[in-house]
Amino acid sequence: MAGSIGIFDSGYGGLTVLREIRQLMPEYDYLYLGDNARAPYGTRSFEVVYQFTLQAVRRLFDMGCPLVVLACNTASAKALRTIQQRDLPLIDPSRRVLGVIRPTAECIGNITQTRHIGIFATPGTIRSQTYDIEIGKLFPDIRVTGQACPMWVPLIENGEYNSDGADYFVKKNIDQLLTQDPDIDAIILGCTHYPLLFDKIRKHTPSHIHLISQGEYVAKSLADYFRRHPDMQARITQQGTIRFLTTEHPTSFNESATAFLDHPVTAEHIHL
């Protein structure tokens, strides 16, 4: 069965990943699903994030997607492995679900000189230690320090990312991270929402520290996946369309999504 690439996030953050994927591969069809009504996921338990993510993946499969990208670190950290190993073989072994953490972990080896890196992410992603584990497998010499930023996603979901309040919380978490490890020379923005705060994060981070937004790496990794799996690539329809679904009211989604994507968006409401 052929269909669109499904892109899932708890809310708007996955749009930063969609934007990069689409820039690299505009020929494909995309179906974006934001679970805005239940965002943020970052402070929710393992079990709840897993259940919500599985519902979203099933829905995107029902709508014909052969492949779903979890464009959400929290869902990738807490649900991806179980869905890949336990659910997918039962639902449909020919479909695929990919995450964003592995492609981001792969890029870090060439970027850090000090071999000390930091991760900004939701409390759920930091608690899961998924970045530490993935980076440890690839680059055992790199020291990874995580910093949970519980206020960043709510600031973004509420349209407050340009406010003075955002400056306060961004600076606070940067200072906390660099106090834990002053030798850090690269920081992964390990939440797909964070590119929206990029200017503020840059402003409060010493200029010698690299900031890594993951969209670009996830997009390249997906293109590489298609090169290695031409059978999957052949199942993705290619009319260059994009459709947006949200579990919240479409009007507020349309307004906020436009800021993320720089073009007008017309979303449809769905229940999960």
Which residues sit at the interface with ligand DGL, rule CB under 6 A? 9-11, 13, 39-42, 72-74, 122, 125, 153, 191-193
Contact 109, 135 (CB under 8 A): no
CB of 76 to ligand DGL, least distance (A): 8
Nearer of residues 4 and 125 to ligand DGL, judged by Cβ: 125
CB of 171 to ligand DGL, least distance (A): 20
CB of 94 to ligand DGL, least distance (A): 27
Active-site residues, by number, are: 72, 191
Nearer of residues 108 and 153 to ligand DGL, judged by Cβ: 153
Nearer of residues 30 and 66 to ligand DGL, judged by Cβ: 30
CB of 140 to ligand DGL, least distance (A): 25
CB of 99 to ligand DGL, least distance (A): 10
Nearer of residues 41 and 139 to ligand DGL, judged by Cβ: 41
Burial bucket for residue 115 (CB in 10 Å: 0-12, 13-18, 19+): middle
Q: How many CA atoms lie within 13 A of 89 on its CB side?
A: 4
Nearer of residues 48 and 232 to ligand DGL, judged by Cβ: 48
